[in-house]
Chain A
Amino acid sequence: MTTQTLDATAREAVTSACARVEEPGAGDHVDGVVPGLVARPADTDQVAEVLRAATAHGLTVVPRGGGTKLSWGVAPRSADVLLDVSALDQVLDHAAGDLIVAAQAGCRLADLQERVAQGGQRLAIDETVPGTTVGGMLAANTSGPRRTAVGAARDLLIGITMVRADGVVAKAGGRVVKNVAGYDLGKLLIGSAGTLGVITDATFRLHPVPAASQWVTAPVSDPAAALAMTQAVLHAQVVPAAVEVAWAEGSGSVSVLLEGRVAGVAGRADATRAILGEGATGSDDAPAGGATYPWDTRASGEDRSTALKLTFELSALGEVLAATAGTPAVLRGSAGSGVLYAALPPTTDPAEVATLLERLRRVCTSRGGAAVVVDAPAAVKAAVDAWGPVPALELMRRVKDQFDPDHRLSPGRFVGGL
């Protein structure tokens, strides 16, 4: 653990900037980095005040939403202030007739879903870790099975309010689905891991909740079969909402989610069973694990698994699965989108992780994607390059330098040490 300390004038400045400021408690660290203060602003203006105080006093700031996985990514070089946005927890506006919702960044995804469900609608983003907030989901760019049908956060976010490192509040986009006025700043903030600005509210497009849904699952015993099955489903006329693969020790399953009208889903589920063959079974429930990751999302410290995110073009599924042969990796993810998550047990030797990571990285990058370490025990994080090679890094550095010239926001968390 490293602990940050703030001098008295800096403490005073942050304290007077915001409604609640506290000393860090036991859970208030960012992957071992204990902040000097935890600030809990009550609204966007206070977030801006805190960032202005931070600028005036040269303080680093790490934003936190639900804190469900604040350890993920690379530990920050410094975190003078932990900027906790959990008090910004309101659904601001559900315009059911326009199929949109606006919510504050600290609003829990589950609360937002409950609210829009009252109008028969949903934000088609899966909650991958219980407790996730809107801001954290965006900053970490999490996604689950349903992205195959409607895409991920980048496809559903239509407006955003952010506070820049210098405390300036800016918005982009708006309340309409179709809008090409100006640059799409929302896209830049998605997946930026708290390094570009602090998100304070977001507006999304919604979808109607389908009348019926059904999962069809079949076992597979080799990578080639998993690929053949997913390809057959994707090219058929069953309109899958999700195509998932689970994999461990050389075998696994392919699961297909069908959503829509009652009669349609029944027919398409039959067709899907026929494609997946003898062993296929239907179920109303998601396969084991649902939308979450193949690792224990509550574990912390040395008990954490090594968690990887693998992306690749669709036809590379077999190669990716084959690359994990002979390792204890457990995989799960959206084969229909080209995204898999892999977990290695906490006790895995860092050298073994490094070898597998290198192998997976070779396969994924040669097939249009990447292999990233999302989370891992400290020893593993120290032994590997979490983000790997990133094209256009120089351009990303220039974007960071424009938005946060002093590298005040979550320094060192992101690609290339940004």
Chain B
Amino acid sequence: MTTTEDRTHVGAGIDAVTAVARRLLPEAGVITDRTRLRTYECDGLAHYRVTPALVVIPEDDAQVAAIVRACAEHGVPYVARGSGTGLSGGALPHAEGVLVVTSRMRAIREVRREDQRAVVEPGVINLDVTKAATPQGYYYAPDPSSQQICSIGGNVAENSGGAHCLKYGFTTNHVTGADFITPDGDMVALGGAAPDAPGYDLLGAVVGSEGTLGIVTATTVRLVRLPEEVRTILVGFESTDQAGAATSAIISAGIVPAAIEMMDALAIEAAEAAVHCNYPDGAGAVLVIELDGARVEVEEEYAEVARLCEDNGSFEQRLATDAVDRALIWKGRKSAFAAVGRISPDYIVQDGVIPRTALPEVLRAIAELSSSSGVRVANVFHAGDGNLHPLVLFDDAVEGAGEAAEQVSGAILDLCIEHGGSITGEHGVGMDKAKYMPRMYTDEDLDTMQLVRCAFDPGNISNPGKIFPTPRLCGEVPGRHKAAHPLQQAGLAEVF
């Protein structure tokens, strides 16, 4: 039995929202016990921790709407949470706010092969959509490496990607409609089963907005026909330069593989230690290349890819001959993040993007950064998209190591921006990268993005403090903000 008294600091607003939650939700769906609240204090980025004032686990959209409405009424911030696998602190709770957890909204409502659509609730696990569609010859294409645990709601909020995005696109390309709870607590339908809904593409703005515009309570997703043929090849190179050149050669030849993933020597070492994936001995880099589509075409493309890899110095190529083989190749790649724990006590997963042609140059620059700073960096990434995931390794027990790693990590982002890239390709800005946004965008760009937030969430209660470093208050005339805002100085409003 838990009581509100277990919480250390609660405002009147939270009490009111708690009362609404208790009235509507079963007992297990309202958490106020301090110890249990702490289970939710972070997402996949564990070095930021905040204990929420209240956790609710609603079972349907009406409950979500009622809780959000109560939050709006009392000015209480709320944060949505799916599976909590996010790597940018997007689902980091607000200390005086509510965490809305979607894990009890897990129904796959419909799988409609004839429309190539499925309608799913936000807590549904990504891989389960594919499992439901496969018997009908279809699958859900966006496949983040966390697909066995992350939720569709989290995917929509982060516009998640995955290995197969090179050919099939990101979450935003696969979501056609959503039921959405605005920060006022209104329930609205965005998009639909058909394309091009008249009006502004609000769904397009909501996807990737990291829970700052409202909460998605159901999603209509596109299903993609399972390909006739899939070929997965593991290719060993002596260096990342060679692997990068092979990647460019494949794309330049007009081939768009379903995936091209790269791992460097350190990442391979980690994966071997963890899952014994048996990658080529002595490789300085491997590529995992997957081709899919109509059989004849895949066969032709395979021959060409094999030749292009050879031309660029590959010393070993392995074609997966069956599903078990293929799974083992992918296991090495998909377990890489976690595997790094085997070779380093602590690490930062970075998520920068560069134009593909800059790969060799940027990888060399990262290597230089690493050797000059003495901070080891393992590279495992979506080479086809130019989406880097440098794993910056450190030992927190060593004084100053964390700061050094943080510095290298930031310098890598600067490299990405310098080359015309982005500070995040799929993990999101969240809490973690808000400070980097001004390096990529001007004040005018950020102010313009704020217009969207002000339209959706004028009270700034939906996941405040994420994405934007210092958003202006809604209704304020845009411009540079050097001093504290007058309203803030007067103690009337807070700049989040």
Contact = CB atoms under 8 A, between A and B. Distances in A.
Contacts, number: 272
Interface in B186-227: 186, 188-190, 192-205, 207-209, 220, 225, 227
A204 B214 CA distance: 28
B484 to A, nearest CB: 23
A168 B451 CA distance: 12
Given A314-B114, A395-B202, A339 B195 contact: yes
A151 B441 contact: no
B405 to A, nearest CB: 22
A184 to B, nearest CB: 6
Interface in A138-169: 141, 143, 147, 151-152, 154-155, 162, 164, 168-169
A180 B455 contact: no
A238 B225 CA distance: 10
A260 interface: yes
Nearest to B351: A180
Contacts of B455: 395, 398-399, 401-402
Contacts of A252: none
A396 B199 contact: yes
Interface stretch (A64-72, A83-91, A107-115, A383-391): A383-391
Nearest to B477: A166
B193 to A, nearest CB: 3
A337 B198 CA distance: 16
Nearest to B385: A178
A96 B293 CA distance: 24
Contact of B355 (A176, A208, A337): A176
Given A182-B441, A364-B194, A176 B354 contact: yes
B470 interface: no
A190 B194 contact: no
Interface centre among B251, B386, B452 (most CB of A within 10 A): B452
A267 B296 CA distance: 8
B197 A370 contact: yes
Interface band, chain B: 35 or more
A170 interface: yes
Contacts of B478: 168
A6 B240 CA distance: 63
Interface stretch (B54-62, B158-166, B266-274): B158-166
Interface in A214-271: 231, 234-235, 237-239, 260-261, 263-264, 267-268
Contact of A174 (B387, B422, B428, B447): B422
A196 interface: yes
A82 to B, nearest CB: 23
A364 B300 CA distance: 42
Contacts of B161: 178
Interface in A170-184: 170-172, 174-184
| A: contact size bracket | 35 or more
A367 interface: yes
Nearest to B136: A235
A174 B422 CA distance: 8
A155 B429 contact: no
B414 to A, nearest CB: 14
A181 B251 CA distance: 25
Contacts of A147: 195
B423 interface: yes
Contacts of B386: 98, 176-178
Interface string A67-83: 00000000000000000
Contact of A264 (B205, B296, B467): B296
Interface in A264-281: 264, 267-268
Contacts of A192: 200
Nearest to B207: A184
A316 to B, nearest CB: 8
Given A168-B448, A187-B205, A391-B188, A181 B116 contact: no
Given A208-B256, A234-B116, A237-B228, A174 B421 contact: yes
B205 A175 contact: no
A370 B194 contact: yes
A392 B353 CA distance: 34
A207 B256 contact: yes
Contacts of B200: 188, 191-192, 196, 396, 399-400
Nearest to B421: A176
B137 A235 contact: yes
B452 A402 contact: yes
B444 interface: yes
A299 interface: no
B493 interface: no
A293 interface: no
B420 interface: yes
B150 to A, nearest CB: 14
Given A170-B444, A175-B355, A183-B208, A311 B194 contact: yes
A370 B198 contact: yes
B197 A311 contact: yes
Contacts of B427: 180
B486 interface: no
A369 interface: yes
A217 to B, nearest CB: 20
A312 B426 CA distance: 31
Interface in B144-190: 158-159, 161, 165, 169-170, 172-173, 177, 180, 182, 186, 188-190
Contacts of A338: 193-195
Nearest to A372: B198
Most chain-A Cβ atoms within 10 A of its Cβ — which of B169, B227, B429? B169
A178 B190 contact: no
B141 to A, nearest CB: 12
A170 B448 contact: yes
Contact of B444 (A143, A169, A179, A268): A169
A331 interface: no
A415 B199 contact: yes
A326 interface: no
Contacts of A211: 254
Nearest to A336: B116
B275 interface: no
A199 to B, nearest CB: 13
Nearest to A207: B256
A185 B188 contact: no
A176 B114 CA distance: 34
B449 interface: yes
A309 B198 CA distance: 10
Interface in A363-416: 364, 367-370, 372, 387-388, 390-396, 398-403, 414-416
A392 B198 contact: no
Contacts of A392: 180, 188-190, 199, 202
Given A120-B254, A260-B294, A368-B193, A174 B199 contact: no
A342 B485 CA distance: 54
Contacts of A401: 455
Given A239-B293, A314-B114, A179 B353 contact: yes
B454 interface: yes
A188 B225 contact: no
A341 B218 CA distance: 29
B236 to A, nearest CB: 24
A317 to B, nearest CB: 10
Contact of A151 (B112, B173, B190): B173
B437 interface: yes
B444 A174 contact: no
3 closest A-B pairs (Cβ-Cβ)? Answer: A187-B204, A368-B193, A369-B194
Given A97-B355, A176-B355, 6 more contacts: A181-B423, A182-B429, A188-B202, A237-B227, A237-B228, A415-B199
Interface of A: 95-100, 120, 141, 143, 147, 151-152, 154-155, 162, 164, 168-172, 174-188, 190-192, 196, 207-211, 231, 234-235, 237-239, 260-261, 263-264, 267-268, 309, 311-315, 337-339, 364, 367-370, 372, 387-388, 390-396, 398-403, 414-416
12 contacts: A164-B448, A174-B440, A176-B354, A178-B170, A182-B449, A183-B467, A188-B202, A238-B294, A263-B296, A264-B296, A314-B114, A392-B189
